[in-house]
Amino acid sequence: MENIIMGMSLALSPSNLLFALLGTLLGIAFGAMPGLSATMGIAVLIPVSYGMPPATGLILLAGVYVGASYGGSISAILVNTPGTPSAAATGWDGHPMALKGHATEALIESAVASFWGTVVGFIGLLTIAPSLASFSLKFSSQENVCLAIFGLTIIATLSKKNIIKGLIGGVVGLLLGCIGMDPQYGYARFTFGQMSLMTGFPTVPTIIGIYSISQLLSMVVDRDATVNMDSSLNMLNKYKLKLKDLCYYPITYLWCGIVGMIVGIIPAAGGSISSFMGYNEARRLSKTPELFGTGHREGVAGSESANNALIGGTLIPMMTLGIPGNAVSAVLMGALMLHGLTPGNDLFTVKASITYPFIFGILISAMIMVIVGLSCAKYFAKVNKIPQNYLAAGILVLTVLGSFACENSYASVYIMLFCGVLGYFLKRMHIDLSAVVLGYILGPLAERGLTRTFIRTGSVAAGLQSFVTRPICIALLAASLISCAYPLITRHLDAKKAQKGN
Amino acid sequence: MYKKEKLGLLFLLAFFVFFFLVTGTVHKDARMYPYIVCILGIALTSIQMGMTISKERRGETLNGEEAMTKTQSHYLIIALASSILYVFMASILGFFSATFFYVILFSYWHTNTQKKWMYVAVALGMDAVIYITFKILLAIPLPNGLLF
């Protein structure tokens, strides 16, 4: 309770409020632009956060995350092009609403549902994360290995369409994680005589490269694929906000929010799945399910509340166990590390003065988001008017700056560019970049744990045996098996269904 | 489509084989894990290659993006080369000077339909914002060079 009060009071300090506002505004702008995303927004703003006190910097990034999750719905509603993949389901009813002349109501509903969804996720994060973090104290090297294995099996879920390609991505990530000194003895690996590679590929430049530079290259290569919202802005109708609009579908917000949060906790389930599930749940709860897909306000409410509740959900495994369930949480994890914070119990005890303000920053950003969303969503639709050439140049300049600032060296910048090219190439091959990042983050954890286990137990055989005698290890290995089997089973069932349909 | 896929897989195979060979130069106590990773990579890429070839033989269509056009390949090469050149120039000239020239040249190359003074104004504006935010307000160390 002490931490909660302290977190709240720190988050409400004027400077933190200001940066929460700035982060949320930038996040909405990033989310509203198809092609950009919360991941890129956070990656680009990491260097800005670097020069700030950790709590303030992280609040800025929390604002970007919250804002971008909502911002994606603006373009989904107005031009049926989701600004972020997770806003796709919002367009199913949001865009038909806009076509019927109710674009403003759709935007209001989207902002309100996003707010309630974020609140549900925030409550989940505040209540579940500390207890899960204290549970992680029971983890020794064996449990860490099993946890890393479980994290890596997520790749199978991430790459449901082509598991082999997902696994290849994971192996590329593992290989990137091998660069530098080996975690046990300190021997150099794949450094090619470069001193700057001795400490390995630094987290932030690597992740910025994989996500942002690859996306930037896509923007430059497919330069004709930009979206113009000019004509869609005419769809915005005059609508007077009523008090009822602030909580039009309370049950939908709550239930879809819970669903979204749970999906967020399951690593790799992702934003798109949460919003699709939220949409589905809203339809199931609705008294008029037949109206879904025709421009029904409740559809927007379901998908958006689930989509934003995911924020709190994804942060739970990231902050407690160090498993980034999606791209945004992977970048945020990099930002935490940059500010000297390591996921685990320490975040909620020793570093509570940073962690709790960050958590409350999510709530404050949600409040700012709903106010901004209700009053000026249409202005954010205009961000698409920013010429792509300046946008692309600006993003590259900021990513270069960010990578340089992390280590104060050009080596980090070249590493970022290398990772960007690699990421672009893998993207063109339809290899999921989240799989690469998972491999890169979890690989060293697995290797370190495995080597320590073997040393501690005295032999490889005894080490392996120790895995099956520890209850947490058994549970994690079982979860890994389920995680691997799940996409195969669902694919088999889908194929069977399709056969029956024919 | 298949050609692009197979070329990509061949590149990945070469990537893993290269690292497998380089692992031989690593100290023997730190070798086992990278060997396992490389072997996994080689095996998975080979399986994917086999699957792609058998799909091609069965005459199935491959889902995915179209191969890059010549113009797109040029865009990619220019974007990459200019980025590398920008970073290199930043280390020689200094971050702000390199950013100024890069923003003008890159934005003009990307879209040359705007008024010329706009490119200069945006580049100057970007430099000013970065200078005030990063150098003055946040005191973040920025790359130095001969100029500014």
Q: What residue segments make up the domains of chain B, in order of their start? A: 2-58, 70-137
Integer angstrom CA distances of residue A5 from A60, A122, A210, A347, A358: 20, 15, 38, 16, 13
pLDDT the model gives residue B98: 92
Q: Check whether A441 has a pLDDT greater than 60.
A: yes
Confidence band of A366 (pLDDT split at 50, 70, 90): very high
How large a percentage of chain A has pLDDT more than 70? 91
Phi-psi region for residue A181, left (φ > 0), alpha (ψ -120 to 50) or beta? Answer: beta
**Whole-number average pLDDT of chain A:** 82
**Nearest by CB: B22 against A168, A171, A190:** A190
- What length is written for chain A? 502
Q: How many domains is chain A partitioned into structurally?
A: 1
Q: Phi first, then psi: what are they for A36, rounded to 5°? A: -95, 170
Q: Do A401 and B114 touch (CB under 8 A)?
A: no
CB B103 within 8 A of CB A393: yes
**Nearest by CB: A397 against B5, B65, B126:** B126
Structure tokens at A120: 């549900």
pLDDT the model gives residue B125: 92
Q: Which residue has the tokens 């020239």?
A: B101
CB A136 within 8 A of CB A472: no
**Nearest by CB: A189 against B34, B91, B108:** B34
Q: Do B37 and A187 touch (CB under 8 A)?
A: no
Q: How far is A220 from chain B (nearest CA, A)?
A: 7
Residues of A in contact with B37 (CB under 8 A): 171, 174-175, 178, 443
Q: What is the pTM of this model?
A: 0.79
Chain A contact probe: residue of B6, B12, B75, B127 with most A CBs at under 10 A:
B12
Better pLDDT: A4 or A356: A356
Q: How far is A179 from chain B (nearest CA, A)?
A: 9
Q: How far is A221 from chain B (nearest CA, A)?
A: 5
Q: Do A396 and B86 touch (CB under 8 A)?
A: yes
Q: Which SS3 state, helix, strand or coil, does residue A8 take? A: helix
Chain A contact probe: residue of B83, B112, B130 with most A CBs at under 10 A:
B83
Integer angstrom CA distances of residue A82 from A69, A72, A322, A383: 11, 6, 29, 14
Q: In terms of residue numbers, what domain contains A231? A: 2-501
List, for residues A284-339, the tens digit of each pLDDT value. Answer: 888 888 888 888 888 888 988 998 998 888 888 888 888 777 778 888 888 888 88
List, for residues A143-153, the tens digit of each pLDDT value. Answer: 888 888 887 77
pLDDT the model gives residue B120: 92
| A188 secondary structure, DSSP code | E
**Nearest by CB: A164 against B8, B44, B108:** B44
pLDDT the model gives residue B131: 87
